[in-house]
Amino acid sequence: MTPTTSGRDGSQPDLVIGVDVGGTKVAAGVVDGAGAVLSSLRRPTPSQQPSAVADLIGEVVGELRAAVAPRPVRAVGIGAAGLIDRDRSRVLFAPNLAWRDEPLRDEVSTRTGLPVVVENDANAMAWGEYRFGAGRGEPDLVCVTVGTGVGGGIVLDGRLYRGRFGLGGEIGHMQLVTGGRLCGCGNRGCLEAYGSGNALVRKARELVTTSPTAGRRLLELAGGEVGALTGPAVTEAAREGDPLAVKCFEDVGTWLGRAMASLASILDPGLFVLGGGVSEAGDLLLAPARVEFANSLSARQHRPEARIVTAQLAAWGGIVGAADLTRS
């Protein structure tokens, strides 16, 4: 994205810091009113202790404020992978950070002296894509984030849909298979168990174990150890045309397409945006998802069909969206 230095009237637009908190890294950036990132940084998530994460967010905000001084920063928006309460202040549950009813808004506000808004990370990405990315001009969209797990954010009639208790959009935990694979949430048969980065790697390892000769290229990329096979290696092999790796993406894409068809029956969006690390594979994931979506869509011969595209903001989506939500 291209930084913006002034508003349309020649004035400098207000600045907000967006923070994307994950289990392994904290990424943050100073974002102006046009969605441009003026300064950014990334740090490893320090530990599973909530106070240590809040300390790091405070330090990151301080560094970014210094980077854009003397221009003032007026607020902080945080996107966190977990369940956020209705008031956008507490993290009720975040499995990768051991947050349980954590008052993150107040913790960070105390450390920075700034107003803070906390939002689910997929919601933040959905809002960023709606405002500044692939969803511009589309008032009804669903963002599906496909990384280690599967997240989701919903924008309806130009507003972020959060539900009665603030917990809406948990697309990854739609149960698609009765008594299916165990999901990290504790239930069985969730989309996340079939349509995520973890599912992609699991499928690849299963296929290589069953057919080591056919999986020769995948084994090479894993250094000869099936257990060392990673998502990026599967993506690399698929881009080279390796049939087993391509099959893994077809499997994951099919599950995603099936889930999106169900969501279309309920929400009727004009657009689905696929984000997250796995979506960077592009058509390897998009093509099977689109095929299954069309095949599974109810009354498909008699209704308009939503578009399915990849996110435009990529890794910036959560940062930009979290920052912009402080303005809404």
Q: Are 149 and 121 in contact (CB under 8 A)?
A: no
Question: d(Cα 3, Cα 39) in Å, to the nearest integer?
Answer: 9
Per-residue pLDDT of the chain (328 residues; tens, 9 = 90+): 333 333 434 445 689 999 999 877 899 999 999 999 999 999 998 866 888 999 999 999 999 999 999 999 999 999 998 899 999 999 998 876 778 999 999 999 999 999 999 999 999 999 999 999 999 999 999 999 998 889 999 999 999 999 999 999 999 999 999 999 999 888 999 999 999 999 999 999 999 999 888 888 999 999 989 999 999 999 999 999 999 999 999 999 999 999 999 999 999 999 999 999 899 999 999 999 999 999 999 988 888 999 999 999 988 999 999 999 999 8
Q: Which structural domains are found in the chain, ordered by start?
A: 15-127+316-325 (3.30.420.40), 137-311 (3.30.420.40)
CB 121 within 8 A of CB 48: no
Other beta carbons less than 10 A from residue 14's beta carbon: 16
**Number of C-beta neighbours around residue 64 at 10 A:** 23
112 φ, ψ to 5°?
-110, -20
CA–CA separation, 14 vs 156, rounded Å? 26
Rounded to two decimals, the pTM is: 0.90
